[in-house]
Amino acid sequence: TAEEAIATLVNIAQLDRPEDDIEGLPRVIASSIGRDVNDVYRGNNNGVLEDVELNTRIVEASRAAVRALVQQSTGNDGRVKEVSSFFDDIGGAFGQLMGQKKPWTQAIIDAGFPAVSEERLAPLFAYLEFCLKQVVKDNELGGIMELLNGEFLMPAPGGDPIRNPEVLPTGRNMHALDPSAIPTGAAVEVAEDVVRKLLEKLKDENDGMYP
């Protein structure tokens, strides 16, 4: 259903994906008011009232933006059967020429973030549109029939579809790990920072000499 698709895409949109040059939706929204989303999360976890309220507003704005994307492809029965590509749509391009905001940008503006950058949102929502197509695909019966006919069934990675939407659609020959995707760029960045701090600490404890 559309609601199930929205719930999945909201979770996908939360994550930064630096290896694909995609910023998470909360980060883009927070930056529109001059805040770093990590600071907002930290304040929210520490019970800072301003950040608790801001985090709630960011979550609501994110959901409204994703809903605006999904509604473009939702039928009268509340289900998504075929995804309309807004980025290839002539009407969408014409609307942009006329100065109209994309539906998801307008949803964020209406949620109280008028300075949000449509340019920064574009890579993320192009990705979410791809993810929506993956979410609504149904290849279970097709995959079974291919196997029963002795045909080759395309392999695909397994795992969490939020972290890696490439695992969708289901109905393919799943393998547990994708060696080419481990470690991620983000993991390498974190590891470099941790090792650098560890070496500096050991240096300080060893009279300025590295171990």
Q: What is the pTM of this model?
A: 0.73
Which residues of the chain form beta strands (DSSP E)? 155-157, 173-175
pLDDT, one tens digit per residue, over 173-204 is 776 666 666 777 777 888 898 999 999 999 88
Residue 190 corresponds to which tokens in the numbers above?
A: 């974190």
- Tens of pLDDT, residues 121-141: 999 999 999 999 888 887 778
